Structure 1
Amino acid sequence: MAQHDPRLILLDPRDNVFVARMRLAAGETVDTGAGPAVLDRDIALAHKVARQPIAAGEKILKYGAPIGVATEAIAAGQHVHVQNMKSDYTPTYHLEDERKAGAVQ
């Protein structure tokens, strides 16, 4: 893949997600290295953004390792978080409880 948007970090070349280096606004266009993608929502610092389309059931790779599975199809540039992935490490209901308490965005 070609060079990607400098506001996004690629932690490992095997990853299918980037990590945001800063807050990004919904509607902004980012370069994924395979072409432009429009962000579907505001992206918080250190949150994941799909590097490429990810099929439902496909593993989410970060640091070159699986961290969870997509619960629905995810487009390039889409926020990857509890709304569309299930963690391999933290039960999603715990994350949802934290989000409701304001601890997770």
Structure 2
Amino acid sequence: MVKQAVVIKENDSVATATLDLKKGTKISMFIGEKELDVVVKDDIPFGHKLAIKDIAIGEHVLKYSESIGKATKDIKIGDHVHVHNVESARGRGDL
């Protein structure tokens, strides 16, 4: 099986696409010892993130068990996670 997405830590809320993913594609990945199937809801380019858990508005988005920002809208499993729905808290001069 070709890896389509990787999850680094078991409590992460996103996976990283290891190839371009097309909307409607069902992909499988491992989170620890558990296999997870996700239907991709948007076209997701290589290297971008997709939600593997529902993420509520204002909730931290976790990658590598670290917050990479906060959701600016509700994000559902399989959604593309990027600048259109996440606000970074890193490297900002206004905070």
Q: Under a length normalisation based on structure 2, what TM-score does the superposition of the two structures give?
A: 0.79
Partner of 1:64: 65
Q: Under a length normalisation based on structure 1, what TM-score does the superposition of the two structures give?
A: 0.72
Q: Please, which runs of 5 or more residues in structure 1 have no aligned partner? A: 92-105
Q: Tell which has more relative contact order, 1 or 2 (C-alpha 8 A, sep 6+).
A: 2
1:89-104 maps to which residues of 2 (within 5 A)?
89-90=90-91
Q: Is the Cα contact below 8 Å between 1:30 and 1:77 reproduced in 2?
A: no
Question: How many equivalent residue pairs?
Answer: 87
Percent of aligned pairs sharing the same letter: 34
Partner of 1:96: none
Partner of 2:7: 10
Q: Please, which runs of 5 or more residues in structure 2 have no aligned partner? A: none
**Partners of 2:8 and 2:74 in 1: how far apart?**
22
Q: How far does residue 90 in structure 1 lie from its aligned partner after superposition?
A: 4.8
Runs of 4+ in 1 over 3 A off after TM superposition: 31-37
Does the residue aligned with 2:44 lie in a helix, a strand or coil? coil
- Provide the aligned C-alpha RMSD in A: 2.0
